[in-house]
């Protein structure tokens, strides 16, 4: 019997963006065989937190677009919203919920680079 068990399936993916720019990232979710996951029934939330555990940014609901039936989602936040996020390195995870099942699919660093041009 193996005394070790790991149910953490989250892939590590660091995300880098720039303060004050429109944030837009496309994600494609597939199963272990490379087949697109139909996300039509899923609720997907990406949460960014600082080291103290305070929420810095949440991407949920209307922040997502794309083709859920093909496993494709695009996260978008406005330049105004991203302008309010301080430059720095944060932690994030992306959780998908269907019915009563919740799974963290992605996690990693969420890096916000300082902007140079503020106009």
Residue 35 in 3-state DSSP? coil
Cα 104 to Cα 94: distance, rounded to the nearest angstrom: 6
pTM for this entry = 0.89
Question: Per-residue pLDDT for the chain (119 aa), expressed as one digit of tens each?
Answer: 556 655 667 899 999 999 999 999 999 999 889 999 999 999 999 999 999 999 999 999 999 999 999 999 999 999 999 999 999 999 999 999 999 999 999 999 999 999 988 76
Which two structure tokens, joined as six digits, stand for 83?
A: 């302008």
Q: Do 46 and 97 touch, CB atoms closer than 8 A? A: no
Strand partners, 88: 112
């Amino acid at each position: 019997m193996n005394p070790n068990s790991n149910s953490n399936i989250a892939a590590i993916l660091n995300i880098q963006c720039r303060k004050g720019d429109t944030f837009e990232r496309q994600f494609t979710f597939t199963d272990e065989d490379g087949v697109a996951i139909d996300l039509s029934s899923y609720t997907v939330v990406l949460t960014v937190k600082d080291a103290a555990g305070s929420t810095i940014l949440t991407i949920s609901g209307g922040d997502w677009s794309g083709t859920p039936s093909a496993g494709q989602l695009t996260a978008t936040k406005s330049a105004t919203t991203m302008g309010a996020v301080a430059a720095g390195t944060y932690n994030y995870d992306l959780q998908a919920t269907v019915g009563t099942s919740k799974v963290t699919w992605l996690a990693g660093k969420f890096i916000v680079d300082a902007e140079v041009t503020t106009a």
